[in-house]
């Protein structure tokens, strides 16, 4: 089936054009429905072999065929491709809604769960069946037919709105740019940043420099531009993307947000949940919405006084050193960088030459080899979607290939912003015995090489690289062989960030930095004075950064937990209410962060953005065992691999954590990493 789109078990990204998407998916859906009908009409009693295995074969085909189509919509977006993808996605959503409401299929799963055969299954197999029964109920299997039809209609519309939201954020980001011909406007920007903006101009056949809202460009201006008016202009363009306040308001997401809010509440209510937040946590570690809200408010209570002090200190510095009497949001990053240079003798530009991409990648791979016993090797001759993309294989100690991943590092046009890991192929054993190896996409938006100069990473970009690689390791080092629980599949969303945030810690320790740093010109690893400054910078304005994350998290959760269908709280009122409670920096009235908040409106984090902080408690506490036994202790690394990573979604993550750490998680490690432990003791 669609073998032209596959090449040596990996996608052939150049073999499918936009006009082929719908017929390809139509054939996939036709074949899948035929196979499904054969499963549910079987006269045999339900068993693992005649129920789960053939369903996994259907799902595996979706993963291999539908997955790359969605991936290309994110990394090589074009209008014709997105239109075809959107149309096909509606059909795929309809299929999965039908699947979740298939009474005959549910009856067979229920029959297997209540049979003598169930007791003979492995714990992993039982988890697959238990998850399936849970997901049936969350898909409306118990609803009357009329309400099932309503659920199906809502699900399809939400899928469409989510795709449209993300696409409009991308279009709005690309719609704005500023052509600069007078270099004095760029005073303060380092040579590398000016070179990037010149390269952006050349790509449009322009002389001079071109500022865009791609993150490398945006961050360079906000961090280094001495021209305050330029900073404000770029800040406003970025803060109003995809909103009514943007000069390109044809991409306004306001109506989409309101419809998404309404439909999510309707979907939850259909299933008997009080709110969409209650529906969301049904598949998470947390047990109640109050537990989440209390967790976020407790963190705010512990950190806000320090955040207020940090802001007051920055305001005083800006007034006395930068002649900025009224520190505004577009001054924060700029003033913070100047303040960091003065107090810590440190800047991102000082650090960048120590992290050439090739050396840092090699160092990351050495750390992974030391900790987890796997080697990473680049492989050529593999089909990719852009010339800058690379493909790597993971080998075990016997030299056997156990996994693979694509690496797409740099920002470019028609590529969605941010960084993420996604699944190309899950670890899965075919019923006939063949083992399909896990393969991942690792996507970032780093500053690309400029001219013939090699790319170097800021330390923030280094931590992002480690973060996404942590997600990749979770996917690639699983030992599960069933799709539903392989890698990150089946892992509760508030635990899925544990391995990713765990890996970030190695970017702050001498043992890790000695592997990943080597000055571009001298080859010198990060010297002691810069290391000391870097480690101190981990606490630099950490409470302010925590307050910002809590603002996002609490906004997301209250948006979904306290929605009143009869009298919806205006979005602006909710934003103001959350900011009054947890924020210390108050953006201007035109700020519209929700309109580009793709994590919750176009991704999987709706009523789940708190997962970053929830999982950070686990990841910081897990890393504290390495602090006790040795940062690169192979024995502790193998323990982490064999307990946390290998299990995939087969076991409750709290059970796994306690097996690894030997106790319940404690918040002290997170607070210590954030530099706010002293305040918690005082409180």
pTM: 0.95
Residues 466-501: tens digit of each pLDDT: 999 999 999 999 999 999 999 999 999 999 999 999
> 504 exposed, middle or buried (CB, 10 Å; 0-12, 13-18, 19+)?
buried
Coil, strand or helix: which one is 271? coil
Q: Tell whether the model's pLDDT for residue 2 goes beyond 50.
A: no
Confidence bin at 16 (pLDDT 50/70/90) = confident
Q: Tell whether the model's pLDDT for residue 356 goes beyond 50.
A: yes
Check residue 1 and give its pLDDT: 31
Q: Tell whether the model's pLDDT for residue 683 goes beyond 60.
A: no
Q: Given CA atoms 355, 361, 366, 367 in this order, what sign does their dihedral have?
A: positive
Query: In angstroms, how far is the first alpha carbon of the chain from the final one?
Result: 63
CA–CA gap between residue 232 and residue 102 (Å, rounded): 54
Residues 587-600: tens digit of each pLDDT: 999 999 999 999 99
Q: What is the mean pLDDT of residues 390-396?
A: 98
Q: What is the mean pLDDT of residues 281-302?
A: 96
Q: Tell whether the model's pLDDT for residue 3 goes beyond 60.
A: no
Element (H, E) at 255: helix 254-270
Tell which residue, 396, 397, 391, 483, has the closest CA to residue 439: 391
Check residue 677 and give its pLDDT: 56
Distances (CA, A) of 94 to 88, 90, 91, 243: 10, 6, 5, 30
Check residue 672 and give its pLDDT: 86
Confidence bin at 552 (pLDDT 50/70/90) = very high
Instruction: Enter the tokens of residue 562.
Output: 């306290």
CA–CA gap between residue 370 and residue 447 (Å, rounded): 29
Check residue 8 and give its pLDDT: 54
Tell which residue, 180, 543, 196, 593, has the closest CA to residue 336: 543
Confidence bin at 675 (pLDDT 50/70/90) = confident
Where b means 16+ CB within 10 Å and e means fewer, 252-270 reads: bbbebbeebbebbbbbbeb
Paired sense of beta strands 401-410 and 439-446, if any: parallel
Q: What is the mean pLDDT of residues 226-242?
A: 98
Confidence bin at 546 (pLDDT 50/70/90) = very high
| Domains in the chain with CATH codes | 3-100+102-138 (1.20.1050.40), 176-251 (no CATH), 266-344+542-607 (1.10.1370.10), 353-527+613-682 (1.10.1370.40)
The pLDDT > 90 percentage for the chain reads 95
Paired sense of beta strands 420-425 and 401-410, if any: unpaired
Q: Tell whether the model's pLDDT for residue 292 goes beyond 60.
A: yes
* Active-site option among 468, 497, 551, 616: 468
- CB within 8 Å of 152: residues ≥ 6 apart: 94, 97, 98, 101, 140
171-174 CB contacts, 8 Å cutoff, 24+ apart: 171/242, 171/251, 172/241, 172/242, 172/246, 172/248, 172/251, 172/596, 173/212, 173/213, 173/214, 173/241, 173/417, 173/596, 174/212, 174/213, 174/413, 174/414
Q: What is the mean pLDDT of residues 200-222?
A: 97
Q: Tell whether the model's pLDDT for residue 231 goes beyond 70.
A: yes
Q: Is 523 left (phi over 0), alpha (psi -120 to 50) or beta?
A: left
Q: What is the mean pLDDT of residues 20-47?
A: 97
468 is catalytic: yes
Q: What is the mean pLDDT of residues 502-509?
A: 98
Instruction: Between 73 and 675, name the one with better pLDDT.
Output: 73
Q: What is the mean pLDDT of residues 578-587?
A: 98
- CB within 8 Å of 460: residues ≥ 6 apart: 348
- CB within 8 Å of 116: residues ≥ 6 apart: none
Q: What is the mean pLDDT of residues 131-155?
A: 97
Q: What is the mean pLDDT of residues 297-310?
A: 95
Q: What is the mean pLDDT of residues 601-620?
A: 96
Distances (CA, A) of 283 to 102, 234, 252, 295: 21, 40, 32, 18
DSSP state of 3: G
């Amino acid at each position: 089936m669609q073998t032209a789109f596959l090449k040596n078990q990996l996608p052939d990204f150049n073999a499918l054009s936009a006009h082929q998407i719908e017929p390809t998916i139509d054939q996939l859906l036709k074949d899948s429905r035929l196979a499904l009908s054969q499963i549910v009409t079987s006269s045999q009693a339900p068993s693992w072999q005649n129920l789960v295995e053939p369903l996994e074969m259907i799902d595996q085909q979706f993963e291999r065929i539908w997955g790359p189509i969605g991936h290309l919509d994110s990394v090589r977006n074009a209008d014709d491709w997105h239109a075809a993808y959107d149309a096909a996605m509606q059909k795929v959503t309809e299929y999965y809604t039908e699947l979740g409401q298939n009474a005959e299929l549910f009856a067979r799963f229920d029959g297997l769960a209540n049979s003598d055969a169930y007791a003979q299954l492995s714990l992993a197999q039982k988890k697959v069946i238990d998850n399936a029964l849970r997901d049936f109920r969350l898909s409306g299997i118990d609803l009357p037919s009329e309400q099932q039809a309503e659920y199906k209609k809502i699900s399809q519309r939400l899928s469409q709105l989510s795709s449209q939201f993300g696409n409009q954020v991308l279009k709005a980001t690309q719609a704005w740019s500023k052509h600069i011909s007078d270099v004095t406007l760029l005073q303060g920007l380092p040579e590398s940043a000016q070179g990037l903006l010149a390269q952006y101009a050349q790509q449009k056949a322009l002389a001079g420099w071109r500022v865009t809202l791609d993150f490398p460009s945006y961050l360079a201006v906000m961090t280094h531009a001495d021209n305050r008016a330029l900073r404000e202009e770029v800040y406003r363009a970025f803060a109003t993307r995809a909103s009514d306040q943007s000069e390109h308001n044809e991409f306004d997401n306001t109506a989409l947000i309101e419809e998404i809010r309404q439909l999510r509440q309707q979907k939850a209510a259909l299933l008997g949940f009080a709110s969409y937040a209650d529906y969301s946590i049904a598949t998470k570690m947390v047990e109640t919405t109050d537990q989440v809200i209390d967790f976020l408010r407790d963190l705010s209570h512990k950190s806000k006084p320090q955040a207020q002090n940090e802001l007051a200190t920055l305001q005083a510095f800006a007034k006395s050193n930068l002649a900025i009497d009224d520190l505004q949001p577009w001054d924060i990053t700029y003033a913070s960088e100047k303040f960091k240079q003065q107090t810590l003798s440190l800047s991102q530009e000082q650090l960048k030459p120590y992290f050439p991409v090739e050396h840092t990648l090699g160092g990351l791979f050495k750390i992974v080899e030391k900790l987890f016993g796997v080697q990473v090797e680049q492989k050529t001759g593999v089909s990719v979607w852009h010339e800058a993309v690379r493909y790597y294989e993971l080998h075990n100690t016997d030299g056997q290939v156990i996994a693979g991943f694509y690496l797409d590092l740099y920002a470019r046009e028609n590529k969605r912003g941010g960084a993420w890991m996604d699944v190309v192929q899950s670890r899965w054993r075919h019923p006939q015995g063949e083992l399909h190896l896990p393969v991942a996409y690792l996507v970032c938006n780093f500053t690309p090489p400029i001219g013939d100069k090699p790319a170097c990473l800021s330390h923030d970009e280094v931590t992002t690289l480690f973060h996404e690689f942590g997600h990749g390791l979770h996917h690639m080092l699983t030992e599960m062989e069933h799709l539903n629980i392989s890698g990150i599949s089946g892992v509760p969303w508030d635990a899925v960030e544990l391995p990713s945030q765990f890996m970030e810690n190695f970017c702050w320790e001498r043992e890790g930095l000695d592997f990943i740093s080597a000055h571009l010109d001298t080859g010198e690893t990060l010297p002691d004075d810069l290391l000391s400054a870097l480690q101190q910078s981990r606490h630099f304005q950490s409470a302010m950064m925590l307050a910002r994350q809590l603002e996002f998290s609490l906004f997301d959760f209250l948006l979904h937990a306290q929605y009143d269908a009869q009298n919806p709280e205006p979005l602006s009122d909710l934003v103001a209410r959350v900011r009054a409670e947890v924020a210390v920096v108050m953006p201007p009235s035109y700020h519209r962060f929700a309109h580009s908040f793709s994590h919750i409106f176009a991704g999987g984090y709706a009523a789940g953005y708190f997962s970053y902080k929830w999982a950070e408690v686990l990841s910081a506490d897990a890393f504290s065992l390495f602090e006790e036994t040795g940062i690169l202790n192979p024995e502790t690394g193998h323990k982490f691999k064999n307990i946390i990573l290998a299990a995939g979604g087969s076991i409750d993550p709290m059970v796994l954590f306690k097996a690894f750490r030997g106790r319940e998680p404690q918040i002290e490690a997170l607070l210590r990493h954030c530099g706010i432990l002293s305040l918690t003791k005082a409180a």
